[in-house]
């Protein structure tokens, strides 16, 4: 009995250790902060699993989450257009950390030249995110410096291994087979880093409707290049892609995780699982070419 009581007090004192309250804008970023912060951080994501950050409509409860936060992490590159009003409405006085700082942005022409926000789909960029997260956590909580550094280093090693695997496997695919159709232009950084061409009926945001001409061109390309597989995304309506696949004579290759993780039990519950899962589906599709 005495032992049990002691154990109980030990648990209470362990729980009493205050954790840094962190808010992130979307689920992929929440996981990256958790990988570095471990049990010294308590992370809340404003946009949840399988939700579309482009179309997010902030809730009144989000203001309180930001007001209560020790740190707020955002992607940047124009991804969270809805955030600044939230920050203004809150009493938040802490740092706003843009994790894509120092990433070389991919520029896309959509009427005007805009920066593609989906930088996380390239693992070298994810490593820059991790470095920025590490620096911010160390600055806010210097007592845990060694803890954060050890975790960031181990995680970066795992990221490097996956990066090498993806490069090795894609290098084996002839370049003319490396064409992939997705719902919106979310995989451009993956494409640039690993040498895959991604085509999509929608641009870098899911907000606008696909242009008819884009859809017609895409169907022509599927036929011309004999593309066998079309992918839907966890955050987008699959209807248009189903139609495109049908018209082009292709099949659906599954669901890619683009701007949000799956639930913890799903196939893309963490950033690493998401990258692994997407890469597995893409590789299978590219191997199916005639
Ligand atoms: Zn997106």
Q: What is the pLDDT of residues 90-139, one digit of tens each?
A: 989 999 999 999 999 999 998 899 999 999 999 999 999 999 999 999 99
> 165: CA distance to ligand 1 center in Å?
25
Strands 112-116 and 106-110, bridge-based pairing: antiparallel
> 16: CA distance to ligand 1 center in Å?
39
> 202: CA distance to ligand 1 center in Å?
10
This prediction's pTM: 0.93
Q: Are 39 and 139 in contact (CB under 8 A)?
A: no
Q: Are 231 and 253 in contact (CB under 8 A)?
A: yes
> Domain extents for the chain?
19-162, 173-287
> 183: CA distance to ligand 1 center in Å?
9
Name residue 199's beta-bridge partners: 181
- CATH fold of 19-162 reads Rossmann fold (3.40.50)
The class (CATH top level) of 173-287 is: alpha beta
> 57: CA distance to ligand 1 center in Å?
15
Distance, in Å, from the CA atom of 69 to the CA atom of 30, rounded to the nearest integer, reads 14
Distance, in Å, from the CA atom of 116 to the CA atom of 75, rounded to the nearest integer, reads 11
Beta strands in the chain (DSSP E): 20-24, 41-45, 71-74, 96-98, 106-110, 112-116, 179-181, 197-199, 229-233, 251-256
Residues 231-251: tens digit of each pLDDT: 999 998 899 999 999 999 999
């Amino acid at each position: 009995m005495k032992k049990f009581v002691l154990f109980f007090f030990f648990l209470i004192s362990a729980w009493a250790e205050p954790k840094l309250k962190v808010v992130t804008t979307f689920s992929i970023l929440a996981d990256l902060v958790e990988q570095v912060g471990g049990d010294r951080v308590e992370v809340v994501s404003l946009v949840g699993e399988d939700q579309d950050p482009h179309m997010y409509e902030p809730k009144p409860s989000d203001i309180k989450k930001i007001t209560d936060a020790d740190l707020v992490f955002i992607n940047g590159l124009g991804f969270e257009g809805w955030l600044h009003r939230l920050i203004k409405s809150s009493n938040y006085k802490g740092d706003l950390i843009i994790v894509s700082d120092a990433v070389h942005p991919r520029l896309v022409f959509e009427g005007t030249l805009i920066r593609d926000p989906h930088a996380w789909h390239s693992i070298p960029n994810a490593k820059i995110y991790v470095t920025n997260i590490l620096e911010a956590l160390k600055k806010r909580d210097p007592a845990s410096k060694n803890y954060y550094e050890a975790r960031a280093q181990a995680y970066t090693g795992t990221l490097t291994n996956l990066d090498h695997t993806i490069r090795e496997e894609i290098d084996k695919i002839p370049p003319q087979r490396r064409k992939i159709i997705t719902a919106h232009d979310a995989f451009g950084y993956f494409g640039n880093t690993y040498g895959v061409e991604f085509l999509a009926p929608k641009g870098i945001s899911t907000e606008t409707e696909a242009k008819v001409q884009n859809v017609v061109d895409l169907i022509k390309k599927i036929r011309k290049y004999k593309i066998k597989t079309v992918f839907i995304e966890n955050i987008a309506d699959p209807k248009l892609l189903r139609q495109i696949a049908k018209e082009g004579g292709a099949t659906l290759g599954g669901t890619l995780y683009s701007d949000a993780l799956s639930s913890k039990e799903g196939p893309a519950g963490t950033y690493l699982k998401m990258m692994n899962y997407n890469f597995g589906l893409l590789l299978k599709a590219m191997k199916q070419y005639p």
